[in-house]
Amino acid sequence: MKKIIVTGGAGFIGSHTVVELINEGYTPVIVDDFSNTDERILSGLAKILGTIPTFYRVDCADRSAMSKIFNDEKPNAIIHFAAFKAVGESVEQPLKYYRNNISSLLTVLELMPEHNVQTLVFSSSCTIYGQPDRLPVDENMPEQPTSSPYGYSKQMGERILKDFQIANPTTNIALLRYFNPIGAHHTGFIGELPNGIPNNLVPYITQTAAGIRDQLIVYGDDYNTPDGSCMRDFIHIKDLAMAHVRALDWLMKCDGICEAFNLGQGKGNTVLEVIETFEKVNNLKLKYKIGPRRIGDIEQIFANATKAEKVLNWKTQLSLDEALKDAWRWQQQLPML
């Protein structure tokens, strides 16, 4: 069984990927400092899997601690999620984002050749496209100036990885450019669990529905979209998690490559459409109001994901309706975890 170090493996995307890795015969090793998640995720994983996977409470930028993990676990590959990810916060605290997101990646890359690890899947983002000139976006479109330090940290991460692969030509790297992951595991045992006030739309919706937040603010209703609110490409977290397994499967057969893949549904939904869909599928009403535009937000973006379908044999299977039902099931389960 191939052993995979999953940095940030207790986070939203990381924890779901851990489940799918185990389902597909891999052995994940979680490395997470729990700076933006909660140990309840480990309990949820245990309920789904019957056991808690091996995990280390470690900051991925801590070189000595990471070196010991590499030495002890002897991984076959790395999936690197560990990063701060809130666009708005990155505008307010840019140095926090540059220090964490870049230094953790550099640490992992420095250790890979030392331990003969030649395969890495990188958690990138559609934010690297900025506000694109045309839609849908494909992997060949030029990078635009992004709207946030978070976006620049992902652009920079991709540049570092491309240069690293050139200098280490037997290395295999997949740059997975996520669009907007939402939802939760269908059991309701794991899902998105941000510390403090959520920065992403759907956990703010579910916390508002649960009465934890007074109301939801829709940031802007004067964008050039069908209803004036921002448009995004929302993808079910299970579909996104499976893409990492398919990327690993593919990379294991490669002989020196660095390729980027868009991961999305291939269509856009506005913020107001998501709110209306959540209300419909869960049979409830949300308190929300229209607020001013938020710094760092782009108007609209959605993916052309045909490359991932052709090369990785992956495409989305689950709908927006299913994602929003699963997200609400997770929120309702939270007090019991």
**Residue-level pLDDT at 62:** 97
55-57 vs 180-182, strand pairing mode: unpaired
**Residue-level pLDDT at 337:** 53
**Residue-level pLDDT at 136:** 96
* Angle value at C-alpha 87, between 82 and 88, nearest 5 degrees: 130
pLDDT(30) > 60: yes
pLDDT tens for 85-112 read 888 889 999 999 999 999 999 999 999 9
From CA 177, how far away is CA 327, in angstroms rounded?
A: 22
CATH number for domain 3-181+236-264+302-317, candidates 3.40.50.11310, 2.70.170.10, 3.40.50.720, 1.10.10.10: 3.40.50.720
- Among residues of the chain, what percentage have pLDDT more than 70? 99
Judged by DSSP in three states, 184 sits in: strand
* Angle value at C-alpha 122, between 329 and 174, nearest 5 degrees: 115
**Residue-level pLDDT at 204:** 95
Of 95, 16, 109, 17, the C-alpha closest to 60 is 109
153 within 8 A of 293, measured Cβ to Cβ: no
Structure tokens at 1: 């069984």
Structure tokens at 44: 């949820």
Confidence class for position 336, pLDDT limits 50, 70, 90: low
DSSP annotation of 188 reads S
pLDDT tens for 170-214 read 999 999 999 999 999 999 999 998 778 888 899 999 999 999 999
Domain ranges of the chain: 3-181+236-264+302-317
* Angle value at C-alpha 263, between 258 and 269, nearest 5 degrees: 150
**Residue-level pLDDT at 117:** 98
Burial class, 60, CB count within 10 angstroms (exposed 0-12 / middle 13-18 / buried 19+): buried
CA distances, 274 to each of 3, 252, 271 (Å): 38, 37, 5
- Rounded to an integer, what is the distance from CA 29 to the centroid of its chain? 18
pLDDT tens for 239-259 read 999 999 999 999 999 999 999
The stretches of the chain forming alpha helices (DSSP H) are 12-23, 40-49, 63-73, 87-92, 94-114, 149-167, 201-209, 237-251, 271-282, 306-312, 320-333
**Residue-level pLDDT at 125:** 95
106 within 8 A of 64, measured Cβ to Cβ: no
From CA 138, how far away is CA 333, in angstroms rounded?
A: 37
Whether 178 is catalytic is no
Of 145, 123, 151, 136, the C-alpha closest to 11 is 123
Residue among 26, 56, 97, 150 flagged as catalytic: 150
pLDDT(298) > 90: no
